[in-house]
């Protein structure tokens, strides 16, 4: 594709310029742009797949594991998923202009707290080329300009996707510069992007720990880092054991490689003897390696000898694999303390029949998402009904949990009066 | 005062420990603690004033300007103001536990977004000892532990105030460690405080640019910096000139040394000839130095010769003094563009009779607070009805505008189900 290469700084400045207009665009224009983007991705699927085939051809020459190559790969169904994702975002309410609070002051001033776009959001991502379209759609709908910096392995796929989105958006009235792809996936480009203070408002990294560390080293622009997910399921005394069983199996085995899967099972001492033998049996059957503390072993019955001993660091480890640490605690308070000490503040679940236990866990656990009688696997923008997510935050400032369109916004106070001055 | 000195790290760790309990305290206990703090400050006013007198005695030996010494000084009326401030915060609603959003998912899960305390908030402040009590009250009510690092010039005042607040709070059921004063106001202590990652959740600096720069250099803990306030009043064509006159006088002269005072007056070209002569005359009479562009001069009538010429940097300067830049613009769009180019995103006002102009300004200006027909001077937590503020933010992430109790909170998602697992 013949494009004039412009510098990262120029790309960001153009995005900043575009953001002024984007912030005031009516929803109708933004929705029309999403409609156009979806249609263009659909119509030009062959072009996208051809570019992706070229990327894959090069990638296969590298020494990448098959799982990584799979992440790079697009096919008809993945293209259709992108199209569907854009349509979902289009149908969600526009976050811009939402009045989240408002009141009248004693002096007659009307104060409204109004949601407005952040301005320019940059996404630094690895592998999956669908991120190009997902994040562009989220940015357009939330009135933000976006700067995309994908990885070099799918440079051609990303270039075609960004070009298709840009062309479609421009045709629908989105200003030039609103969607920008940084050419070149090197560390230098990332450093330049990460230091555009006052031009780029937020960077969201989507990728592994290496990417985050590299960004942390250079970034002066605010970054929302997604920490790891060391998540727990606590099974209370008197819980519905069938429910607990199914939740643990789901949270551990449905997709063990993701951040909202469970890494530690805690069981109340009164529940352990009746619950653990069947639970651990099912987990073993499902192929889960079990690392148990002494009390869990003691309650495991016939399975005891087949369990590994949990060591201290197991409680702090995000396995992201078919491995589960298992411990017994004395009370819901002990479970809360364990979770707050070892958890990463991502997703934590209690299975209980007791209102008091549910309340103690909900209030006591310091995490982005706290579940009562449900799997931790639901912490996800799409599952929460926010449309696609641009990432998932375990930090406490600005955005916690899924980063959807609202989290790509800030607010302003609009204050209307009739000549009020301060006495 | 005989206290065992503990390190900054120990102080922060104790605060972190206390924050777990604080987060779950019912409002009644927190309100009782505020009641007790107010009463104790009232009852022990003499002790506070004696400590302050000792601080002042030492400070007078230094080479400080009278305005600075005034900031250090406490008297009966300032102590009463502290007491009243604590009572105001007590009567405000508890932000913790507020459900700011909630919905039911198609699978039956109930999602609630619940406001919860950040955890540990540190305030790094200069001079004014009343900050010790104001910020402690905000922290207690919002369920946060607080670490205070005041300046060495009022170390004795701060120590007495913190001791009084701590004792009163403990008696009312606030956990030990919830209120901590860092002994020693040196840069080393600040650096230690600013690097307590994972222990301190937020630092808010209250002080001059020197303090902010020093903090920026060392901080790894998140900091909310209050940028300067280069604020504008724009007088539209067809505005009520009497209203505009009073708003400009108020915004410029009522307290010129603060961040929400106005630094530039912009006037629509159609309003300039009728409005500027009287406006500029009143400003001159009030002792304001006027720096005007050529078109403002041309519209100034008899006053033209007495105006200074505005130079480029005047548009970007926060004078914090009785100086005002004055310019003429062609339209509300030009005013918006000028404000977005030169403003610092603090407080911006339009005086207009036109709904269309008001809307264009409200939507187009990128600032924490946008005023229609009111003085910029209202951007303040107390004026906005939030009780005292811990600072004022011009950044876009997390908190924008006054940082009150809600801004000292984050949120968690509480998700209640009946056994849901992810398909």
Question: Would you call A410 and B417 a contact, using CB atoms and an 8 Å cutoff?
Answer: no
Pairing mode of beta strands A179-181, A347-351: unpaired
Mean pLDDT of B71-82: 95
Question: Would you call A413 and B105 a contact, using CB atoms and an 8 Å cutoff?
Answer: no
Question: Would you call A23 and B366 a contact, using CB atoms and an 8 Å cutoff?
Answer: yes
Which of B246, B412, B419 has the CB atom closest to A369's CB atom?
B412
Size of interface A-B (CB pairs under 8 A): 188
Separation in Å, CA of B58 to nearest CA in chain A: 36
Q: Is residue A398 part of a domain?
A: no
Chain A residue numbers with beta carbons less than 8 Å from the beta carbon of B416 are 358, 371-374
Question: Would you call A410 and B418 a contact, using CB atoms and an 8 Å cutoff?
Answer: no
Question: Would you call A373 and B202 a contact, using CB atoms and an 8 Å cutoff?
Answer: no
For residue A309, what is the domain's CATH number? Answer: 3.40.309.10
Mean pLDDT of B73-94: 96
B194/B292 same-domain check: no
A64/A213 same-domain check: yes
Which of B100, B363, B414 has the CB atom closest to A362's CB atom?
B414
Q: Which long-range contacts (CB under 8 A, 24 or more apart) does B133-136 make?
A: B133/B37, B133/B41, B133/B82, B133/B85, B133/B86, B133/B161, B133/B165, B134/B82, B134/B85, B134/B388, B134/B390, B135/B388, B135/B390, B136/B37, B136/B162, B136/B165, B136/B169, B136/B179
pLDDT score of A53 more than 90: yes
Separation in Å, CA of A368 to nearest CA in chain B: 5
Which of B243, B377, B421 has the CB atom closest to A246's CB atom?
B421
A220/A236 same-domain check: no
pLDDT of residue A1: 38
Which of A364, A373, A412 has the CB atom closest to B24's CB atom?
A364
Mean pLDDT of B49-61: 95
Find the domain containing A78 and state its range. Answer: 8-224+403-415
pLDDT of residue A391: 86
Token couple for B186: 């040196």
Question: Would you call A385 and B103 a contact, using CB atoms and an 8 Å cutoff?
Answer: yes
| Closest C-alpha among B368, B393, B415, B387 to residue B142 | B387
Question: Would you call A23 and B363 a contact, using CB atoms and an 8 Å cutoff?
Answer: yes
**Residue linked to tokens 């630092």:** B203
Which of B251, B398, B419 has the CB atom closest to A243's CB atom?
B419
Mean pLDDT of B185-195: 87
Which of B363, B369, B375 has the CB atom closest to A422's CB atom?
B375
Chain A residue numbers with beta carbons less than 8 Å from the beta carbon of B368 are 412-413
Q: Is residue A387 part of a domain?
A: no
Side-chain-side CA neighbours of residue A377 (13 Å) = 21
Counting the structural domains of chain B, the total is 2
Which of B249, B254, B419 has the CB atom closest to A373's CB atom?
B419
B256: left (phi over 0), alpha (psi -120 to 50) or beta: alpha
Mean pLDDT of B239-243: 98
Separation in Å, CA of A44 to nearest CA in chain B: 32
Question: Would you call B364 and A414 a contact, using CB atoms and an 8 Å cutoff?
Answer: no
> Do residues A256 and A320 touch, judged by C-beta distance below 8 A?
yes
What is the length of chain A?
A: 423
Separation in Å, CA of A338 to nearest CA in chain B: 13
Token couple for A205: 């990294």
Question: Would you call B417 and A371 a contact, using CB atoms and an 8 Å cutoff?
Answer: yes
Q: Is B124 strand, coil or helix?
A: strand
What does residue B256 show for φ and ψ, rounded to 5 degrees?
-65, -15
Q: Give, in order, the Cα–Cα distances in Å from A363 to each of A71, A231, B117, B201.
A: 38, 17, 11, 18
Q: Is residue B107 part of a domain?
A: yes
Chain B residue numbers with beta carbons less than 8 Å from the beta carbon of A222 are 395, 397
B148/B38 same-domain check: yes
Of the spans A183-197, A203-217, B178-192, B296-310, which averages the highest pLDDT? B296-310
Question: Would you call A415 and B378 a contact, using CB atoms and an 8 Å cutoff?
Answer: yes
Mean pLDDT of A177-191: 87
Which of A24, A385, A400 has the CB atom closest to B412's CB atom?
A400
Q: CA B120, CA B147: separation in Å to the nearest integer?
A: 7
A109/A203 same-domain check: yes
pLDDT of residue A4: 55
> Do residues B125 and B150 touch, judged by C-beta distance below 8 A?
yes
The model's pLDDT over A385-399, given as tens digits with 9 standing for 90+, comes to 988 788 889 999 999
What does residue A306 show for φ and ψ, rounded to 5 degrees?
-90, 0
Chain A residue with CA closest to B360: the answer is: A24
Q: Is residue B182 part of a domain?
A: yes
The model's pLDDT over A3-27, given as tens digits with 9 standing for 90+, comes to 557 899 999 999 999 999 999 999 9
Instruction: Provide the ipTM.
Output: 0.94
A368/A407 same-domain check: no
Q: CA B268, CA B235: separation in Å to the nearest integer?
A: 6
Q: Is residue B393 part of a domain?
A: no
Which of A246, A366, A397 has the CB atom closest to B202's CB atom?
A397
A284/A150 same-domain check: no
Q: CA B44, CA B46: separation in Å to the nearest integer?
A: 5
Q: Is residue A392 part of a domain?
A: no
B206/B168 same-domain check: yes
**DSSP-assigned beta bridge partners for residue B374:** A420
Token couple for B45: 């006013």
Global pTM reads: 0.93
Q: CA B287, CA B310: separation in Å to the nearest integer?
A: 17
Q: Give, in order, the Cα–Cα distances in Å from B157 to each of A136, A320, A363, B125.
A: 54, 53, 37, 13
pLDDT of residue B398: 96
Question: Would you call B415 and A363 a contact, using CB atoms and an 8 Å cutoff?
Answer: no
For chain A, the 3-state helix, strand and coil shares in percent, each to the nearest 5, are 45, 20, 35
- The helix (H) or strand (E) run that includes residue A103 is strand A99-104
The model's pLDDT over B110-133, given as tens digits with 9 standing for 90+, comes to 999 999 999 999 999 987 899 999
B105/B152 same-domain check: yes
| Closest C-alpha among B141, B177, B142 to residue B162 | B177
Query: Where does B238-294 show beta strands of DSSP type E?
Result: 262-268, 289-292
Separation in Å, CA of B98 to nearest CA in chain A: 12
Q: CA A13, CA A47: separation in Å to the nearest integer?
A: 29
B191/B308 same-domain check: no
Cα angle vertex A8, ends B215, A52, to 5°?
Answer: 125
The model's pLDDT over A86-118, given as tens digits with 9 standing for 90+, comes to 999 999 999 999 999 999 999 999 999 999 999
pLDDT score of A188 more than 60: yes
Q: Is residue A422 part of a domain?
A: no
Separation in Å, CA of A362 to nearest CA in chain B: 7
Q: Is residue B268 part of a domain?
A: yes
For residue A215, what is the domain's CATH number? Answer: 3.40.605.10
Question: Would you call A370 and B105 a contact, using CB atoms and an 8 Å cutoff?
Answer: no
Chain A residue numbers with beta carbons less than 8 Å from the beta carbon of B118 are 396-397
Q: Is A344 strand, coil or helix?
A: coil
A67/A163 same-domain check: yes
Q: Which long-range contacts (CB under 8 A, 24 or more apart) does A243-246 make?
A: A243/A351, A243/A373, A243/B418, A243/B419, A244/A275, A244/A279, A244/A351, A245/A275, A245/A278, A245/A279, A245/A282, A246/B419, A246/B421
| pLDDT band for position B351 (cuts 50, 70, 90) | very high
| pLDDT band for position B5 (cuts 50, 70, 90) | confident
| Average predicted confidence (pLDDT) for chain B | 94
Please say whether the dihedral angle defined by the alpha carbons of residues A349, A354, A357 and A359, taken in this order, is positive or negative: positive
> Do residues A385 and A89 touch, judged by C-beta distance below 8 A?
no
Mean pLDDT of A37-65: 95
pLDDT of residue B1: 38
Mean pLDDT of B203-228: 87
Chain A residue with CA closest to B351: the answer is: A419
Residues 6+ apart with CB under 8 A from A409: A95, A96, A115, A116, A117, A118, A142, A143
pLDDT of residue B2: 38
Question: Would you call A400 and B414 a contact, using CB atoms and an 8 Å cutoff?
Answer: no
- The helix (H) or strand (E) run that includes residue B17 is helix B8-22
B81/B209 same-domain check: yes
Q: CA B395, CA B216: separation in Å to the nearest integer?
A: 14
- Of the residues A204, A396, A402, the best mutation for testing chain B's interface (the one with the most B CB atoms within 10 Å of its CB) is A396
Q: CA B169, CA B146: separation in Å to the nearest integer?
A: 12
Question: Would you call B105 and A23 a contact, using CB atoms and an 8 Å cutoff?
Answer: no
For chain B, the 3-state helix, strand and coil shares in percent, each to the nearest 5, are 45, 20, 35
Chain A residue numbers with beta carbons less than 8 Å from the beta carbon of B418 are 243, 373-374
- Of the residues B197, B354, B419, B423, the best mutation for testing chain A's interface (the one with the most A CB atoms within 10 Å of its CB) is B419
Question: Would you call A396 and B119 a contact, using CB atoms and an 8 Å cutoff?
Answer: yes
Which of B116, B363, B411 has the CB atom closest to A24's CB atom?
B363
Q: How many CB atoms lie within 10 A of CB B174?
A: 26
Chain A residue with CA closest to B353: the answer is: A418
């Amino acid at each position: 594709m013949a494009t004039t290469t412009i510098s990262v700084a120029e790309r960001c400045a153009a995005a900043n310029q575009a953001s002024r207009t984007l912030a005031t665009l009516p929803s109708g224009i933004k929705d029309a742009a999403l409609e156009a983007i979806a249609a263009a991705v659909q119509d030009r699927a062959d072009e996208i797949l051809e570019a992706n085939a070229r990327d894959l051809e090069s990638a296969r020459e590298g020494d990448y594991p098959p799982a990584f190559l799979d992440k790079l790969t697009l096919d008809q169904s993945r293209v259709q998923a992108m199209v569907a994702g854009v349509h979902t975002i289009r149908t969600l309410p526009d976050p811009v202009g939402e009045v989240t609070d408002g009141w009248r002051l004693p002096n007659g001033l009307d104060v409204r707290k109004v949601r407005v776009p952040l301005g320019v959001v940059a996404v630094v991502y690895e592998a999956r080329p669908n991120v190009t379209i997902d994040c562009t759609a989220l940015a357009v709908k939330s009135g933000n300009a976006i700067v995309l910096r994908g990885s070099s392995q799918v440079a051609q796929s990303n270039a075609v996707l960004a070009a298709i989105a840009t062309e479609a958006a421009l045709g629908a009235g989105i200003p030039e510069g609103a969607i920008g792809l940084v050419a070149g996936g090197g560390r230098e480009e990332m450093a330049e992007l990460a230091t555009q203070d006052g031009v780029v408002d937020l960077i969201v990294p989507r990728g592994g720990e290496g990417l985050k560390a590299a960004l942390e080293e250079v970034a002066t622009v605010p970054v929302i880092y997604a920490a790891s997910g060391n998540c727990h399921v606590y099974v209370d005394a008197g819980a519905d054991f069938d429910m607990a069983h199914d939740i643990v199996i789901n949270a551990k085995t449905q997709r063990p490689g993701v951040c909202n899967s469970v890494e530690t099972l805690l069981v109340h001492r009164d529940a352990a003897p009746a619950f653990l033998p069947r639970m651990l049996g099912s987990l073993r059957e499902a192929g889960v390696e079990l690392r148990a503390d002494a009390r869990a072993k003691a309650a495991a019955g016939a399975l005891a000898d087949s369990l590994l001993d949990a060591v201290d660091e197991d409680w702090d480890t995000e396995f992201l694999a078919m491995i589960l640490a298992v411990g017994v605690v004395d009370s819901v308070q002990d479970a809360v303390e364990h979770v707050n000490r070892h958890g990463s503040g991502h997703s934590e679940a209690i299975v209980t029949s007791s209102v008091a236990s549910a309340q103690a866990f909900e209030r006591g656990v310091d995490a982005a998402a706290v579940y009562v009688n449900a799997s931790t696997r639901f912490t996800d923008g799409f599952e929460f009904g926010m449309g696609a997510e641009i990432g998932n935050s375990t930090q406490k400032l600005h955005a916690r949990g899924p980063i959807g369109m609202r989290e790509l916004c800030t607010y302003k106070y609009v204050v209307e009066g009739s000549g009020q001055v301060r006495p």
